[in-house]
Structure 1
Amino acid sequence: MYSVIKTAVVCGFESLPVQVETDVSDGMPSFDMVGFLTSEVKEARERVRTALKNAGFRLPAKKITINLTPADVRKSGTGCDLPMAASVLAAFGFLDEHILSSYLLLGEVGLNGSILPTKGVLSAAVLAQKEGMQGIVVPWENAREAAILDTVKVIPVKNLKEFVQICQQELPETCFYREQQDFWKTEYDVDFAELRGQPMLRRACEIAVGGMHNLLMMGPPGSGKTMAAKRIPTILPELSREEKLELSQIYSLCGLLDQERIIQNERPFRSPHHTVTAQALVGGGKQPHPGEISLAHHGILFLDELAEFKPGILDVLREPLEEKKVHISRVGGSFVYPADFMLVASTNPCPCGFYPNLNRCNCRPQAIKNYIGRISQAFLNRMDLCVETEEVRYTTMKDMREEESSAVIRARVKRVHEIQRERFRGRRYRFNSQMNMEDLEKYCVLDAESAERMQEKYEEYHLSARTYGKILKTARTIADLAGAEHIQWGHLEEAFVFRNPDKNYWRRD
């Protein structure tokens, strides 16, 4: 007796199709499993055998062999429990496997026969859609997640008895799950209008978002750095449906989907603590999983108190910042996770935080130098803008004039993003910050006067080739915000203003 049931296993960011084959034959009673399995999949043998017994299915004493193919794909997670149980039941004739031939099965099995939620259901549903399958059988708790895709039928089940009963009725229409809630609405509970004063900081945030440039904020405690960073997602254009789905897949793999909303509608804002490990930041582990940079995909990765991070931690961000993805190699294979995020960081200028206000700063010059030196020049070169914030005065806090709202700023940013979308049509990238050398020479042409002044600034700021390119890209974004076709000296001058902290704090004369 032989049966085949289809399932899926997570491999990096995506799910891969897997077939669960079961053969039942005469011989010494046994229950064997093969197919490049991790420990939690191997343990499914005891879970499935006990669950079937407690669900009331009496299996004859036979030799049972389960094979998960393809054999070269490492099988991990607990989602294979349900398809294994279904394959065994089909092999013994308790259900007709052909009814499930166009369905993916996913779910963990409890010892009492209950079907428990598992991670990566949305990714499996996307796979079912790509493979042209009719639907997916999932635990009840995962039904809303799987129902995001309109073209995939969802069959939620609570236990093995219910699952077999549904299959015996040849999947009646009443067994399919439908979700009426609108998943796709985007709402934020913060607004840029709440940020008082700080015109330079507000301007830097708009420029950074306009071209998806990395931003470093320096200033004393309580000057609005964190407040501004948390509001940056509100001035970014709304995520497209495809981006929301991609982001939700990542959160599904980590078990972080909000069960009330299911879809990750808002751009993510991730703020790991400065004690974070490299593995937690970029992803990895014995069983690879996405890190903070992948959870910040299409959104903001905010590194608060940047100088407090270990230097080695910051260095691991270099490749993802350039590649917009992270590669993780393990014995079981290589995994790729998306990591297209905007990096925003903040730091105090000294250990006490109040330099250069000598009336409040009590740090020695060497202590200031050592503190700020924890941020390497190599990392700093990857920051497009650097802005200094000021202490907020009492009069500013009590000023009742309304500041620009996120909606107003977002409208300008959206227009600039559309300009860049047309500019880079047919390219692999969409924003000024991602320009290659060819496009840099094409879209960042300087007139004779600007080129001459640029040379003077180049020597004054001791620029590297990388920083020079970033200043041109920033100037291109400033020109786009101004509606200018060509970069003018005023645009370059403003771009240099946002490199002043670089010159003041890190330059070595």
Structure 2
Amino acid sequence: LDGSLKKVRGILPIVLSAKQKGYKRIFIPYENLKESSYVDGIEIIPVKNLRECINYINGKIDLDLSSMLYKNTSIQEEKYEEDFGDVKGNYFVKRGLEIAAAGNHNVMLIGPPGSGKTMMARRIKTIMPDLDKDEMMEISKIYSIAGLINNNIGIINKRPFRAPHHSATNVSLIGGGAKAIPGEIVLAHRGVLFLDEIAEFNKKTLEMLRQPIEDGEINLSRLKFYVKYPCNILIIAAMNPCPCGYFMSNIECKCTEYEMARYRNKVSGPLLDRFDIFLDVVPIEFGEFKDNNFTETSKTIKNRVQEAKNIQRKRFENSDIKNNNEIKSYQINKYCKLDEDASKIAKKIFTKYNLSNRSYTKLLKTARTIADLDLCKDINKNHLLEAFSYRKGYYKYFK
């Protein structure tokens, strides 16, 4: 009852909305200062209580606003304990994750227990491209609404990495509840959503991901209001090839055909169709443990990823697209041009493997990213064949 102002959720979108509506000045709780001070073009006045606000408006007190403002949108290089330099073998898998990070392509990792699926999936955050200012504001607005902004930083300046447990409920994964709070897929916007042991998730929960993955947004309707959240995410999923985990490995599998089919059917065909890259993760040989040859570090890989990302930013600078994975079907001919040899191979692949329209466009978008990593303007046959090689795991386990 003393009129003191408490910190509130969602101050960043509130300040941005006030700016868009033409307000020149806004009073906010003092504890929300860092979070809102990244917005330019509007005077932000933090106050600790209502009396201070009234006295300032009446000219009875002055506030030293210059000392309060905290503006720093620079990105400090993130230091991770994990590094791809620690990973022995599985070069094909590391290359697939590099392509995924460069073009935001969804990945399915399949392999026996202990082969390194989780280890490599968690390292993808070390090679993700840096955020631009618009992306930082997009993510920060979401985290502001969720009340997850770090008070010491005031803004989200690195790509999110969310890894919900397979026991996650519909509301925790998708979002909702009485206040339509953002779920994990929204909190992972412009970052990574890691679904470890995807076959252990509730099937109905997984099916709810299909539309948001395709549209890049989630719509939550409640009795008195309607909310639309962005969820443009990179999904990394990992699963065993069968219930015991050792199908087609050097350890004998004890599962029956029925058990294997039932296990894999937990991930439906339409959901699998949302993945661009399927990586077969295999246990490494003893000799690879002893191999001390140089292995590329995350920093080296990230430099290539960042260069490919810069090419995409230039390509899509006059559109609302950020990544190759967001290219719409009607834009394929514009952005994914094939040379003559690549066109012939694309026709053979489409006919022989009876690809769906979605699978074919995803193949071309993956090839587009590989071409960007090679700094090539058009897609050639090598880019297309490499992109198709990343469907090997799909035909091995699901066909």
Normalising by structure 2, report the TM-score. Answer: 0.90
Larger radius of gyration: 1
Q: SS of the residue aligned with 1:115?
A: coil
The structure whose residues are more often strand, as a share, is 1
- Aligned ranges 1:370-449 → 2 under 5 Å: 370-446=262-338, 449=341
1:128-154 per-residue CA deviation (whole Å, 9 max, x = no partner) reads 333443433333322222333355444
- Per-residue deviation, 1:294: 1.3
Give 2:31's match in structure 1, choosing from 123, 141, 162.
Answer: 141
Q: Which residue of 1 aligns with 2:186?
A: 294
Q: 1:423 offset after TM fit, Å?
A: 3.5
Compared CA separation, residues 188 and 197, structure 1 to 2 (3 A): farther
Residues 296 and 341, structure 1, Cα contact 8 Å, conserved in 2: yes
| Other-structure match for 1:331 | 223
The CA deviation string for residues 384-442 of structure 1, in whole angstroms up to 9 with x for no partner, is: 11111111344434433342222222222222223333434433324322223333234
Runs ≥4 in structure 1, deviation > 6 angstroms? Answer: none
Quick check: 1:153–1:176 contact (8 Å CA) kept in 2? no
Q: How does 1:77-88 map to 2 (within 5 A)?
A: none
Corresponding residue of 1:271: 163
Contact 1:183 1:262 in 2 (8 A): no
Q: Which moved more, 1:398-407 or 1:206-215?
A: 398-407
CA distance in 2, matches of 1:165, 1:485: 62
1:138 counterpart letter in structure 2: I
Runs (5+) with no aligned partner, structure 2: none
Give the Cα separation in 1 of the matches to 2:64 and 2:378. 62
For the residues of structure 2 that align with 1:352 and 1:145, how far apart are their CA atoms? 48
Pick 1 or 2: higher relative contact order, CA cutoff 8 A, min separation 6: 2
What is the aligned residue count? 397
Alignment map for 1:131-280 (pairs within 5 Å): 131-149=21-39, 151-174=41-64, 178-180=68-70, 182=72, 184-190=74-80, 191-280=83-172
Between the aligned residues of both structures, percent identity stands at: 38
Counterpart amino acid of 1:130?
Answer: Q
Could you give the per-residue CA deviations for residues 216-243 of structure 1, whole angstroms, max 9, x where no partner exists? 1111223222222222233222111221
Which digits, 9 at most, give the CA deviation of each residue in 1:319-346, with x for residues without a partner?
2222211112222232111111112111
Q: Is the 8 A contact 1:166 1:175 kept in 2?
A: no
- What corresponds to 1:28 in structure 2? none
Q: Give the Å deviation of 1:210.
A: 2.0
Does the CA-based 8 Å contact 1:140-1:156 persist in structure 2? yes
The answer for the alignment partner of 1:97 in structure 2 is: none
Distance change in 2, residues 1:116/1:177 (3 Å): farther
The one-letter code of the counterpart of 1:253 is: I
CA offsets, 1:173-224, max 9 Å, x none? Answer: 3367624574533332323323332201110011112222111111122322
Paired AA for residue 25 in structure 2: G
Aligned residue identity for 1:335: V
CA RMSD of aligned residues (A): 2.5
TM score, norm. by length of structure 1: 0.72
Distance 1:393 1:171, change over 3 A: farther
Q: Matches of 1:157 and 1:439 in 2, distance apart?
A: 50
Structure 1: segments with no counterpart, 5+ residues: 1-50, 56-112
Whole-Å separation in 2 of the counterparts to 1:160 and 1:419: 50
Counterpart amino acid of residue 334 in structure 1: Y
- In the other structure, the counterpart of 1:318 is 210
Q: Is 1:124 aligned with 2:22?
A: no
Change (3 A) 1:182 1:222: farther
Taking a change above 3 Å as real, the CA distance of residues 187 and 230 of structure 1, as seen in their structure-2 partners, is farther
- In 2 relative to 1, CA 454–181 (structure 1 residues): closer, same or farther, beyond 3 Å? closer
> Does the C-alpha gap of structure 1 residues 170 and 461 become closer, same or farther in structure 2, counting only changes over 3 Å?
farther
